[in-house]
A = this chain, B = another copy of it.
């Protein structure tokens, strides 16, 4: 999906919500465990009730890998389902990959060709040749970790380079801009670092920012929007546990739909306030 279409979808749905499909077999409602593929059954039900309120889905690959090849199969079925039934949804593989060029090429092949994701999250530690293989596929995106939502972000991401005086996450933002454009690169900035979004917007005024960390991790949507929205929205805000585990009973899908709708309505207000719709 290209930049223009993603931006259009945000306007049509009045939402910049990304639903994190962090589907943990230990947390899904018990009655689903009798199905032949409980993870896919859960995802399908969640997708059907939330697709009207969200522009993107983000399966975190760890959850699928933890079930071995069966989990990988559930992931493939989930992507195929969205691709067929909701072709206007942006699909993000939250994989945080990154390796030497030869290997990153294979990861790109996996997520963009074997599975039809629109975007993959990538760790910047190994630099340009680990990221470049994900750039250049038409209408595909790399989403580079910049400032993450977790406590450990403080360990290295704030180290300040003596030469440029940039902190590491700023170096990542600045250096990597030469590798792609706002039409094929996004960045991850955690909602728990929302006060930094204003500074970050100075460095990347046009790029989309994927913001995890509202809900269970404690970030505020309002604060993210005020600091992070740009002239064409430029935000995808992710919620996982708050939506997909809104209920653990037989009404899980209904409650997930309500939780997604609630966030969408808050987003609609924020988009209106910012004169974006």
Residues of A at the B interface (CB closer than 8 Å) are 22, 24, 60, 62-63, 65-70, 72-73, 76, 94, 96-101, 103-104, 106-107, 109-110, 114-115, 123-131, 145, 148-157, 159-163, 165, 168, 171-172, 175, 217
Known: A96-B98, A99-B60, A161-B162. A68 touches B115 (CB 8 A): yes
> How many copies, total?
2
- Find A157's partner among B100, B114, B127, B151 (CB 8 Å cutoff): B127
Known: A125-B145, A128-B152, A152-B130. A114 touches B162 (CB 8 A): no
Q: Can you name the residue of chain B whose Cβ is closest to the Cβ of A153?
A: B127
Known: A107-B65, A160-B162. A123 touches B151 (CB 8 A): no
Beyond contacts A66-B110, A124-B155: 18 other A-B pairs, Cβ-Cβ < 8 A, are: A60-B103, A62-B97, A62-B99, A62-B103, A62-B110, A63-B103, A65-B106, A66-B114, A96-B97, A96-B99, A100-B148, A100-B217, A125-B145, A125-B156, A126-B145, A126-B148, A127-B155, A160-B162
Please indicate the chain B residues that have their CB under 8 angstroms from the CB of A217 in the complex. 100
CA distance A60 to B168 in the complex (A): 28
- B150 to A171, Cβ gap below 8 A? no
8 pairs of A and B residues whose beta carbons are closest in the complex: A127-B152, A127-B155, A162-B162, A69-B72, A129-B152, A62-B106, A69-B73, A128-B152
- B114 to A68, Cβ gap below 8 A? yes
Please indicate the chain B residues that have their CB under 8 angstroms from the CB of A97 in the complex. 62, 96
- Find A152's partner among B107, B131, B154 (CB 8 Å cutoff): B131
Please indicate the chain B residues that have their CB under 8 angstroms from the CB of A114 in the complex. 66-68
- A126 to B99, Cβ gap below 8 A? no
CA distance A157 to B94 in the complex (A): 23
CA distance A104 to B66 in the complex (A): 11
Q: Can you name the residue of chain B whose Cβ is closest to the Cβ of A63?
A: B106
- A129 to B106, Cβ gap below 8 A? no
Please indicate the chain B residues that have their CB under 8 angstroms from the CB of A148 in the complex. 100, 125-126
- B76 to A68, Cβ gap below 8 A? yes
- A155 to B168, Cβ gap below 8 A? no
Please indicate the chain B residues that have their CB under 8 angstroms from the CB of A163 in the complex. 159-160
- B168 to A151, Cβ gap below 8 A? no
Known: A69-B69, A103-B62. A171 touches B152 (CB 8 A): no
Please indicate the chain B residues that have their CB under 8 angstroms from the CB of A171 in the complex. 156, 159
- B126 to A153, Cβ gap below 8 A? yes
